[in-house]
Amino acid sequence: MKLSTKGRYGVKAMFDLAQHMGEGPTSLKSIAERQGISEHYLEQLVSGLRKAGLVKSVRGAQGGYLLGREPDKIKIGDIIRVLEGPIAPTDCVSEEDPELCSKAEFCVTRAIWEKVRDSIADVLDSITLETMLEDAQKIESERNLYMYYI
Amino acid sequence: MKLSTKGRYGVKAMFDLAQHMGEGPTSLKSIAERQGISEHYLEQLVSGLRKAGLVKSVRGAQGGYLLGREPDKIKIGDIIRVLEGPIAPTDCVSEEDPELCSKAEFCVTRAIWEKVRDSIADVLDSITLETMLEDAQKIESERNLYMYYI
DNA sequence: TTATATCTTATAAAAACACTCGGGATTTGT
DNA sequence: ACAAATCCCGAGTGTTTTTATAAGATATAA
């Protein structure tokens, strides 16, 4: 039940892009440095995100990547699905064409995995890059408040 | 974000044990046959469950396994934790000694994985073998109702 | 035209997964 | 006493997934 580095790195990279919006294209090199990720590896992940329309690329010198749409229109679930595939604790409850077994209709264990799948999807689809930016700002201002009182 | 066969087989096997309570020890062979699982592989899984006290073993001919405690005292989360380890979409939010990074306190992505972890744990800890037995009975009686009206 | 980037494909080490096997210990029934 | 059933334990093995690394092609700004 672990996320692979693809999902983790992907969300980090997308959040990094969100934090640098309005500064022109952000290069993979700078993201990789800030987030401590292999640049070459990141290339592969971003390639998928680009094909899914979650980021736009600008080639050539001073090029890089931009968010594919507004941060409030990019759910964490979108990112995870591109990089890790459909949300599915088991194949028989995959969001995309589940591999139903003959007893699926009456399967009591299957019902559990469905609930797990839905609870994960609910969390991931309730958070957007915009939400994350707001959370980051909140943490930052609380931190300043704390500093003030020292 | 997939469960391995360990978790899936383990829950199936435990539910099988629950369904055969009161019939004396249930052999791995019969569980393996009913659930379509390799018997030798199942041995390994059950070994862990026994060490965790979720099942009791009876050795020798006519031996087998029994539930370690009442079915309403065995949560699916208990089974999953034994077989798959602590619930943790990432290492930094593991239920057991999380590998915190230096920025953990202010990490916005980490907060997401915490929510995912908690939502998974909530589902798995809200379902017991007893619940599953009730669900199975409900499905069975609905099925009989349907048959009656044909 | 040079440096900076993205893009694409290939290769590969390491880890995880899903068994498989062999043999030993324990108990029941004959 | 003995055979059959069953749990118990550790080692080995093939496959897949993960996590990169590398090389080279393409595109663009300065």
DSSP per residue, B112-147:
HHHHHHHHHHHHHHH-BHHHHHHHHHHHHHHHHHHH
Contact (Cβ atoms closer than 8 angstroms) between residue B90 and residue B99: no
**Mean pLDDT calculated for residue range B122-142:** 96
pLDDT of residue A64: 97
**In angstroms, what CA-CA distances link B13 with B55, B59, B69, B86?**
11, 18, 15, 20
DSSP of B50-84? HHTTSEEEE-STT-EEEESS-GGG-BHHHHHHHHH
Q: Which nucleotides of chain D have an atom under 7 angstroms from any protein CB?
A: 3-11, 17-23, 26-30
pLDDT of residue B68: 98
B44 — pLDDT class (breaks 50, 70, 90): very high
Write the CATH number of the domain with boundaries A5-145: 1.10.10.10
Bridge pairing between strands B55-58 and A64-67: unpaired
Looking at chain B, the whole-number percentage of residues with pLDDT higher than 90 is 87
Q: b/e for B15-44, b at 16 or more Cβ within 10 A?
A: bbbbbbeeeebbbbeebbeeeebeeeebee
Q: Which of B117, B121, B137 has its CA nearest to residue B71?
A: B137
Contacts of A12 in chain B (CB under 8 A): 109
Alpha carbon distance B129, B132 (integer Å): 5
Nearest to A2 among B80, B88, B132 (CB): B88
* Nearest residue of B to residue A94, measured between CA atoms: B2
Nearest to B76 among A112, A123, A139 (CB): A112
Tell me the domain boundaries of chain A. 5-145
The structure tokens 């079915």 sit at B71
pLDDT of residue A22: 96
B142 min Cα distance to partner chain A (Å): 10
Q: What is the helix (H) or strand (E) element at residue B7, kind and residue range?
A: helix B5-19
- B145 against A12, higher pLDDT: A12
A49 min Cα distance to partner chain B (Å): 18
pLDDT of residue A92: 96
Question: Which of residues 61-100 of B have CB within 7 Å of strand C?
Answer: 61-63
Nearest to B119 among A106, A120, A132 (CB): A120
| Beta carbons of B3 and A1 less than 8 Å apart | yes
∠ Cα A87 A92 A96 (to 5°)? 45
Question: Quick one: A129 exposed, middle or buried, by C-beta within 10 A (0-12, 13-18, 19+)?
Answer: buried
- A101 against B135, higher pLDDT: B135
pLDDT digits over A11-52, tens only? 999 999 999 999 999 999 999 999 999 999 999 999 999 999
B81 min Cα distance to partner chain A (Å): 10
B33 — pLDDT class (breaks 50, 70, 90): very high
Alpha carbon distance A69, A46 (integer Å): 15
SS3 B26: strand
Mean confidence (pLDDT) of chain B:
95
pLDDT of residue A145: 82
A36/D19 CA-to-C1' distance in Å: 14
SS3 A58: strand
pLDDT digits over A99-126, tens only? 998 888 889 999 999 999 999 999 999 9
Outline where chain A has alpha helix (H).
5-19, 28-35, 39-51, 76-84, 108-126, 129-149
A144 — pLDDT class (breaks 50, 70, 90): confident
Contact (Cβ atoms closer than 8 angstroms) between residue A63 and residue A57: yes
pLDDT of residue A149: 66
| Beta carbons of A88 and B123 less than 8 Å apart | no
Contact (Cβ atoms closer than 8 angstroms) between residue A9 and residue A45: yes
- B141 against A26, higher pLDDT: A26
